Amino acid sequence: MKTMNTISTAIRSKRARLAIAIGAAFTLATFASCGSRDEGEGARADRDGSGQQREYVIGLVTKSSSNKVFIPTGKGARDAARALEQEHGIRIRIDDQSPPREDAQQQADRIRQLAASADGVMISVSSASILRNPINEVVQQQGKPVITFDSDAPDSARFAYLGTDNYEAGLQLGKEMAEVLGGRGRVAILTGNPNAVNLQARVRGVQDALAEHPDITIVRVQDNPSEDSREAVQRMEQVHSAESVDGWAMVGGWALYISNALDGVPAETKIVSLDAAPSQLPYVEAGRVQVLLGQNSYQWGYDCVTMLIDYLHNDERPAPGDEIINSPLIRVTRENLSEYRMQLEQWGWTAD
C-alpha cells in the first residue's frame, strides 16, 4: 500500500492537465471526451490476464437527487470516470443511488446495497450518527472503500473527506452579512436538516462571526429539516411575521431555488447565502441577494472518483493527517455574475 504525501499534491501532479482552476478568473476546464460504460449496463469488474482489475463501479450517494447543488457533482464524477478510463485503460461506471428526498436511513440502505455491487462508494452524509455504522459495515465487513464529501461522518471508517470547510464557510458568510448590514441589525439564520454535521458547523461559523459585532443580534436560527424550497420560504415568512429581521444568513440556498421566493420578505432585507445555483442568480441580478458563496460541487465529484480509483487501481491512500481536503468557495456578486454563469455551463448546470 502506498500513501500520498498530500491528496491535493497527488491529484495535481498526476492530473494537472485535468485539474479545475477555480478563482476570480473562473478558468474553464476541458476534459477528455472518450466514452464510459452505459449507465444502465450492470456487470461486475473484469480483470486482465495479470489479475489487474480493469473495470470498476463507483457508487454515488448525494443527500438527495432533488438537491440542486449536487448536479455538478454527478457531472464531475462522470467526467473523472471518462478521463481516468483514458489514462489507465480501464472502464468505470458511476452508479448514482441518491434518494429522491433527504433521508439518512435511505442513504444507509443504499450504501449497504451498493456494497454488493460497487467497488467503492462516495457519499454526502445526511446524519453522521445514522451513517457511521453503515459506513463501517461497508468498509470493515465488505472491504469496500468509502469517501465522504460535502458532509462528513468523521468517526466512521471512511478513508477521506473532501468538501467545504463548513465552519470557515459559515465564518465567511457571517462576515459578508456583517458587511452588507454595516455592522448593525437583527439577523436570522436559515439552516436545513439540524442533524447534518456540515450545516451545524456552518451555523456555528455564522454565529461566531456575528459575535464580533456588538450591534448585530441573532434573533432566530430557523431550521428546514426537509430542505424543501417552498417549506424554506414558508418558514422565512413565519419568522418575519414574528420578528423584525434586517438580514438573512442562509447556510444553504434552498429558499432561493424557486422563483418569487422573496415576495414575502421586505425589499430592504439584506441576504447572503451559501450555494450559487442558476435559480439563485436572478436574485443577485435584481439586487435582492447581495452575496452568494458557491461551493465547488463539481470538484467534489471529480476528485472523489479520482481518489477512489487511486485507492482501488493504484493502491494509494492519503497520508496520515491528510484525510481532509478542503475546497474553496466562489464569491458571486453582481460584478462577476456573467463569468460565474459561464462556469456553471461548463459544469452542465444551466437550469434547475
Longest distance between any two alpha carbons in the chain, whole Å: 71
Give the residues of the chain that fall short of pLDDT 50. Answer: 5-10, 12-45
How far apart, in Å, are the Cα atoms of 160 and each of 123, 196, 270? 11, 18, 37
DSSP 29: P
CATH 3.40.50.2300 for domain 2-162+297-329: yes
Using DSSP's 3-state secondary structure scheme, residue 280 falls into helix
What residue segments make up the domains of the chain, in order of their start?
2-162+297-329, 166-294
Count of Cβ atoms closer than 10 Å to residue 344 Cβ:
20
Amino acid at residue number 6: T
Q: For residue 332, how far is the Cα from the chain centroid?
A: 17
The Cα 137–Cα 156 span in angstroms is 10
pLDDT of residue 32: 35
The Cα 304–Cα 60 span in angstroms is 10
CATH 3.40.50.2300 for domain 166-294: yes
pLDDT of residue 186: 98
pLDDT of residue 26: 38
CA proximity to 145, closest of 155, 153, 135: 135
How large is the angle between the packed helices 297-313 and 7-15, nearest 10 degrees? 90
Using DSSP's 3-state secondary structure scheme, residue 96 falls into strand
pLDDT of residue 3: 60
Task: Report DSSP letters for 30-96, one per residue.
Answer: ---------TT--PPPPB-TTS-B-EEEEEEE-S-TT-GGGHHHHHHHHHHHHHHHHHHT-EEEEEE
The Cα 237–Cα 232 span in angstroms is 9
Polymer length of the chain: 352
Task: Report DSSP letters for 234-265, one per residue.
Answer: HHHHHHHHHS--SEEEESS-GGGGSTTTTTTS
Query: What is the DSSP pairing of strand 330-332 with strand 291-294?
Result: antiparallel
Same fold, 2-162+297-329 and 166-294: yes
